[in-house]
Amino acid sequence: MSANKRITIDPITRLEGHGKIEIFLNDEGDVANTYFQVPELRGFEQFCVGRLAEDMPVITNRICGVCPEAHHMASVKALDMLFAVEPPSAAKKIRELLYMAFYVTDHTTHFYALGGPDFIVGPDAPPSERNILGVIKKVGLDIGKQVIDCRARNHYVIKMLGGRGIHPAAGQPGGWSKPVTEEERKEIEQIAKDNIDFALFSLKAFDDIVLKNSNYLDLVTSDIYLHKTYYMGTVDEKNRVNFYDGMIRVVDPEGKEFVKYHPSEYYQHIAEHVESWTYLKYPYLKKVGWKGFVDGIDSGVYAASPLSRLNVSDSMATPLAQEHFEKMYETFGSKKINGRYQPIHHRLATHWARLIELLYAAEHMLELATDPEITSPEVRKIPEGIKGIGIGSVEAPRGTLTHHYESDERGVLTKVNMIVGTTNNYAPMTMSIKRAAEKLIQKGKIVEEGILNRIEMAFRLYDPCLSCATHSLPGKMPMIVNIRNQDGEVIRTFKRD
């Protein structure tokens, strides 16, 4: 087979800063193959060796400035285990309180600035309007300011509890460095209430703009964005969604529980596949095996995303989020089997799932802010020894995040492994891009209108890490697609400014 055309999207935006898509067409003009490349590596797993274990919450923060809170939490949980210390209950709650504030701000950013514009302004709207400014234009400046306020008040909470607005500093093995005062608690309580209002408003906006518009609903339920894979997420003892703690549950494409394991057993269940053309690795389910970029029960590919978390769970742990959870599964015609809904495979539903999680985070934040124990001064327990191995995990907004450290008897690290949120979704994103390309480019005919955006939508729904609000504040997501002949000469260029 000789590929006679090559389409390069270089770079795509919002994926670790640097991402690249190569699409090859065959002689018939159909898609022969696509490659989704990540041209970046920093090497934390090596250079953290030799560091003090207790420095890791601050060092691994710097893996990602968009979700440093997730790394901070996975790291302190790994340290609890490495130092064999159980934090006081209040400390766990403070960690979780900060984490809920983080989820609210992070999901808000994605819905309004990144993923949302495709719906709120529309997938076929002029590209210059398909952005946060277009969103504000469409929904009004007042709402735009609400979005800014929501981010601001939750970053305020993050700074109050964690010491810094970005890259928190307060996490320690065995607890937290600072208790919460009653004045702080009161402020946070009010902020949590405002967050619930904002989450409900956002769900209503999604309902009005997307669900009540048959064109959008068709897009959400179309087979362009459909993949039947395994799903992963953390659940509590009642198999409800939990971001901070619990067991990791994996369900198969039919919705049957495949495995439920403690995060410390991750390497018995997850393996990482390496390709020579990308720096990022491809995690997959070890017991199913790596079969390449294919769907189905025989392929070890799994997704770990807001939709995945809901797909693996029996329910939500807060009442309002539960109502919306049920509504979403009913809308997709999902049937209940053995007391739980069958998974939704339409990947665009991830946006809806994200808003349901936003509401859960806001509700749970209020629960924590009104918990009498939250102002307890007992927030740290001093470790008595060093066990030398620590594995910690949380649900980052973009997927299950695992940190694994090993140390010598002084607590100096000798081995570090991390599987970060977005990495889990590398294979699904690669497949989603391929599928979108296959559907949009056939027999040499390229569906010009919207091709760039619809291919972007295929990976954007996963909210790849580093897709921070700043990227789209000016509202521009420029992209160039070059179509080359077999000599590599550019014969046609699509450009979107």
Partner 1 sequence: MLEKPKLSLYWAASCGGCEIAVTNLNEKILDVDANFDFMFCPCLLDTKYKDIEAMPDKSILITLFNGAIRTKENEEIAHLLRKKSRILIAFGSCSYEGCIPGLANLHTKEDILKTVYFDNPSIDNPSKIIPQPETNMPEGVLHIPDFYEDVKTLAQVTDVDYFIPGCPPEPEQIWNVISAVVEILKTGAALPSKGAVLGAGKSSVCDECERKKEDKKIKAFKRTYEFIPDKEQCLLEQGIICMGIATRDGCGALCPKVNMPCTGCYGPPEGVFDQGAKMVAALGSIIDIGEVKGLSEDEINKRIDAIIDTIPDFAGTFYKYSLPGSILKGRVR
Residue numbers belonging to the annotated binding site for Fe cation: 67, 468
Question: Which residues lie below 8 Å from residue 60, measured CB to CB, with a gap of 6+?
Answer: 44, 48, 71, 72, 74, 75, 403, 418
The least distance separating partner 1 from the CB of residue 67, rounded to whole angstroms, comes to 9
Region 385-404 residues binding partner 1, contact defined as CB under 8 A: 404
Tell me which DSSP letter residue 180 carries.
P
The least distance separating partner 1 from the CB of residue 42, rounded to whole angstroms, comes to 5
- Burial pattern 37-69, b for ≥16 Cβ within 10 A else e, equals bbeeeeebeeebeebebbebbbbbbebbebbbb
Region 118-147 residues binding partner 1, contact defined as CB under 8 A: 145
Among 297, 337, 382, 447, contact with partner 1 (rule: CB under 8 A): 382
Q: Which of 91, 356 has the CB closer to partner 1?
A: 91
Q: Which of 80, 295 has the CB closer to partner 1?
A: 80
Q: Does 152 participate in binding partner 1 (rule CB under 8 A)?
A: yes
SS3 call for 354? helix
The least distance separating partner 1 from the CB of residue 148, rounded to whole angstroms, comes to 5
Site string for partner 1, 333-372 (x = CB under 8 A): ----------------------------------------
Among 89, 123, 125, 155, contact with partner 1 (rule: CB under 8 A): 155
Q: Which of 102, 101, 118 is nearest to 192 (CA)?
A: 101
Among 64, 91, 355, 401, contact with partner 1 (rule: CB under 8 A): 64
Judge contact between 27 and 10, C-beta under 8 A: no
Quick one: CA dihedral 361, 362, 368, 374, positive or negative? positive
Residue 357 tokens read as: 């999680």
Q: Does 453 participate in binding partner 1 (rule CB under 8 A)?
A: no
Cα(379)–Cα(372) distance, integer angstroms: 14
Q: Does 30 participate in binding partner 1 (rule CB under 8 A)?
A: no
Q: Does 480 participate in binding partner 1 (rule CB under 8 A)?
A: yes
Q: How many residues bind partner 1 (CB under 8 A)?
A: 104
Q: Does 316 participate in binding partner 1 (rule CB under 8 A)?
A: no
Q: Does 236 participate in binding partner 1 (rule CB under 8 A)?
A: no
Q: Does 380 participate in binding partner 1 (rule CB under 8 A)?
A: yes
Quick one: CA dihedral 209, 228, 461, 196, positive or negative? positive
The least distance separating partner 1 from the CB of residue 328, rounded to whole angstroms, comes to 29
CA 429-481-110 angle, 5° bins: 45
Q: Which of 222, 226, 293 is nearest to 450 (CA)?
A: 222
Among 86, 197, 265, 275, contact with partner 1 (rule: CB under 8 A): 275
